[in-house]
């Protein structure tokens, strides 16, 4: 048996993992200027779209477990980026809201995606190819996130 299926070069997961890791690394200098980590940036992006969500909704949107998101949110609250409050209708739910400081970071963060895109588009991949890739990745994520393990 040759075990071709076990070669790294034959895995879909590795180039996805490597690309994700390297793109996240490219975000770091921009986010450090804002005092943010990449996971904090993801939470803020979700809240910039919605302003108010439950912890479970944030977790679901980011495809993370609540036990991963909760410590992240606590840290963000200590940095005064968000507030957390128990729901008045259901005490089991915790509502996450942007603080004024969290809302203000949106303006500073707005230029980051463009700066990153200019770093490799169109030298490596065209805008159309990026759009196609994003659509394919969204389909894969959608399928995998609904899959019962």
- The CATH number that applies at residue 47 is 1.10.10.10
Per-residue model confidence (pLDDT) at position 90: 87
Q: Please state, in angstroms and rounded to a whole number, the distance separating the CA atoms of residues 80 and 68.
A: 19
Phi/psi class of residue 125: alpha, beta or left (left: φ > 0; alpha: ψ in -120 to 50)? beta
Q: For residue 144, is it within any domain? A: no
| Closest C-alpha to 130, from 141, 143, 116 | 116
Q: For residue 129, is it within any domain? A: no
Q: For residue 18, is it within any domain? A: no
| Closest C-alpha to 25, from 128, 120, 134 | 120
What pTM did the predictor assign?
Answer: 0.89
Q: For residue 136, is it within any domain? A: no
pLDDT tens over the chain, length 149 residues: 789 999 999 999 999 999 999 999 999 999 999 999 999 999 999 999 998 999 999 999 999 999 999 999 999 999 999 999 998 888 889 999 999 999 999 999 999 998 888 877 677 888 889 899 999 999 999 999 886 55
Strand, coil or helix: what is 1?
Answer: coil
Q: Which structural domain, as residue segments, surrounds residue 61? A: 25-110
How many distinct structural domains can be found in the chain? 1
Q: For residue 37, is it within any domain? A: yes
Q: For residue 47, is it within any domain? A: yes
Q: For residue 63, is it within any domain? A: yes
């Amino acid at each position: 048996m040759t075990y071709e299926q076990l070669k790294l070069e034959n895995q879909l997961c590795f180039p996805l993992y490597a690309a994700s890791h390297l793109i996240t690394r490219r975000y770091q200098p921009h986010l450090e200027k804002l005092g943010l980590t990449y996971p904090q940036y993801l939470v803020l992006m979700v809240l910039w779209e919605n302003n108010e969500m439950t912890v479970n909704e944030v977790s679901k949107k980011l495809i993370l477990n609540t036990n991963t998101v909760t410590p992240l949110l606590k840290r963000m609250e200590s940095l005064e980026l968000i507030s957390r409050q128990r729901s008045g209708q259901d005490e089991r739910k915790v509502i996450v809201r942007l603080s004024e400081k969290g809302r203000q970071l949106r303006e500073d963060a707005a230029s980051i995606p463009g700066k990153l895109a200019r770093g490799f588009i169109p030298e490596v991949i065209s805008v159309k190819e990026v759009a196609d890739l994003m659509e394919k990745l969204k389909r894969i994520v959608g399928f995998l996130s609904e899959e019962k393990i």
